[in-house]
Amino acid sequence: MSLKSCEKAETNVYQVEVHVEAADFEAAVNKAYLKNRKRINVPGFRKGKAPRAIVERMYGPEIFYEDAIDLVYPEAVEAAMKEAGHTLVAPPADVEIVSVGKEGVDFKFKATVKPEVEIGTYKGLKAYKEEIKVEAAEVDARIEELRDRNSRMVTVEDRAAKDGDMVEIDFEGFVGGEAFDGGKAENYNLTLGSGSFIPGFEEQIAGHNSGDEFEIAVKFPEDYAPELAGKDATFKIKLHEIKEKQLPEVDDEFVKDVSEFETLDELKKDIEENIRKEKEHHADHEVDDQLMEELVAGLKAEIPEVMYENRVNESVRNFESRLNSQGMTLEAYLQYTGMDMEKFREGFRAQADMQVKGRLALEKVAELEGLVPTDEDVEAEYKRYADTYNMDVETVKKVIPAEDIKDDLCITKAVEFIKDNADVKTGKKPAKKAAKADAAEKPAKKTASKKTGDGEKKAPAKKAAAKKPAAKKTAKKEEEK
């Protein structure tokens, strides 16, 4: 493969022309022949046994060209971009096969690449880390959560239902005197005050006793399902049973039942330490966010829109994967929340904006500081992935290229460098002073401050795939002499 030309067409877009040498293309044609020969019938030969020369003489030398191009194309694109010193951020566009034949293949395409980046100051960035304190009330609240998780429901018959009780009911709903779909259930367990039913439903059950049969009137919210939104409804209710929650006493016996500790003091000490660790983690995350905001504020780059779209796509895929693991589809989620896909995607845009800009800025820091991972660093990262996903290291290496691991480690080293050279003070971050506006002056232009993403460590970003050329029929096929 040789790069014939790489000319700038517009910002971050280049017109690239590539030549695949005759020997490389000949090897690909032979692979295509070996792959397809079992499906080829030639008179006088058993199926799949005809020599390549006979097949080409019968069907034409170009019979294997398309498959051969598919074989050489991805590697040729990758090699060309590497030689040109650019990184693709989207599949090549406007692919055209210029010529193909015994002399090799010439093709051209438009490449959208990573932008040129400039950054401002990245040493001595300022951040504030909140002082960590654990209040006794926070520990007590965790104890109450333990009590709640270990509570039991007990039937009560000497009083009416109230908030916090669990009631077992039959109900059937009517709109305009007609029963509606989904408005009926028997022996349904409902916790009063949970807010799981429409406003007014749970409140009207409170005050009734076991065995009561009664009706309640409610109005469906305006943002409910279209067929019921805003409509008045009547529900017939039969209250079978009332149960109240009984919480265990907090003493050493309780502690032994719910934990590995022997005394309440030991449990409280452990809870306090866990809360402290959680707050430390949160405070560290806040510091990271502040430093990234400062770093990105000094970024100068004309970033291709496709980079933001790629990041939004990844967030959507991750969200959909989590939904699927819980037995829900993305389509069902959108229907349930009343969102369309465009609005749903827009929810990821601000995060994508910061993540794309943040990574570009960190890559520049790594470049300027010469932050390069060692072979030992790469091996350690492979082992970490293997341990995390309970896989063999060699299997991980087949899934994630070493180049992607190195890229990700460069980002990690850049983050560590910025933190090591940052000016982090203890205390709350000062509130930004509101700009003084003069009514007689024109309003100042608003600047949108961007926040960082979710802070989670991501798997190494994959390089933009080189899709198969879509314009093979435009090729100028050279006939064998």
* Euclidean distance between the first and the last CA atom of the chain, given in angstroms as a whole number: 24
pLDDT at 182: 85
Residue 345: closest CA among 296, 310, 303? 310
Task: Give burial (CB, 10 Å; 0-12/13-18/19+) of 255.
Answer: buried
- Which pLDDT score is estimated for 1? 75
| Residues 357, 348: Cα–Cα separation, whole Å | 14
> Quick one: pLDDT at residue 23?
96
Q: What is the mean pLDDT of residues 453-472?
A: 41
- b (16+ CB within 10 A) / e for 22-35: eebbeebbeebbee
User: pLDDT tens digit string along 120-173?
Assistant: 999 999 999 999 999 999 999 999 999 999 999 999 999 999 999 999 999 999
CA 119 to chain centroid: 26
Is 309 strand, coil or helix?
helix
Q: Read out DSSP for 20-32?
A: E-HHHHHHHHHHH
Q: In sequence order, which ranges of 299-348 are alpha helices (DSSP H)?
A: 305-325, 330-337, 341-346
Residues 6+ apart with CB under 8 A from 182: none
Q: How far apart are CA 406 and CA 398, in angstroms?
A: 15
Nearest to 304 by CA among 114, 110, 86, 117: 114
Provide, rounded to the nearest whole percent, the portion of the chain with pLDDT above 90: 81
In terms of C-beta density within 10 A (0-12 exposed, 13-18 middle, 19 or more buried), how is residue 200 classed? middle
Distance CA 158, CA 164 (A): 16
Where in 65-163 does DSSP place strands (E)? 93-101, 104-112, 126-129, 152-156
pLDDT tens digits, 317-326: 999 999 999 9
Amino acid at 292: M
Q: What's the average model confidence in pLDDT over 420-443?
A: 68
For residue 6, what are the β-bridge partners?
16
Beta strand pairing call for 232-246 and 93-101: unpaired
Output 42 or 454, whichever has higher pLDDT: 42
The answer to whether 243 touches 165, Cβ cutoff 8 Å, is yes
Question: Order of strands, edge to edge, in the sheet holding 476-477?
Answer: 2-10, 13-20, 104-112, 93-101, 476-477
Taking phi first (over 0 means left), then psi (-120 to 50 degrees means alpha), and beta for anything else, what does residue 83 get?
alpha
In this predicted structure, the answer to whether residue 378 has a pLDDT above a threshold of 60 is yes
pLDDT at 433: 65
**DSSP 8-state secondary structure symbol assigned to residue 89:** S
| 436 confidence band (pLDDT: 50, 70, 90) | very low
Summarize the confidence of residues 276-302 as an average pLDDT. 96
Residues 480, 22 contacting (CB under 8 angstroms): no
Residue 134 β-bridge partners: none
Report, as an integer, the average pLDDT of 401-425: 95
Q: In terms of Cα–Cα distance, which of 231, 171, 176, 228 is closest to 204? A: 171
pLDDT of residue 459: 38
Mean pLDDT along residues 98-106: 95
Mean per-residue pLDDT of the chain:
89
The number of helix segments (H) and strand segments (E) in the chain equals 14, 12
Kindly write down the DSSP assignment for every residue of 209-265, as one continuous string.
Answer: -TT-EEEEEEE--TTS-TTTTT-EEEEEEEEEEEEEEEPPP-SHHHHHHHSS-SSHH
pLDDT of residue 430: 84
- Three-state DSSP class for 376? helix
- Over the stretch 184-217, which tens digit does the pLDDT of each residue have? 999 999 999 999 899 999 999 999 999 999 999 9
Higher pLDDT, 116 or 456: 116
CA 448, 452, 458, 464: dihedral to nearest 10 degrees?
Answer: 20
Question: Residue 81, Cβ neighbours under 10 Å: how many?
Answer: 23
DSSP calls for 393-439: HHHHHHHS-HHHHHHHHHHHHHHHHHHHT-EEEESPPPPPPPPP--T
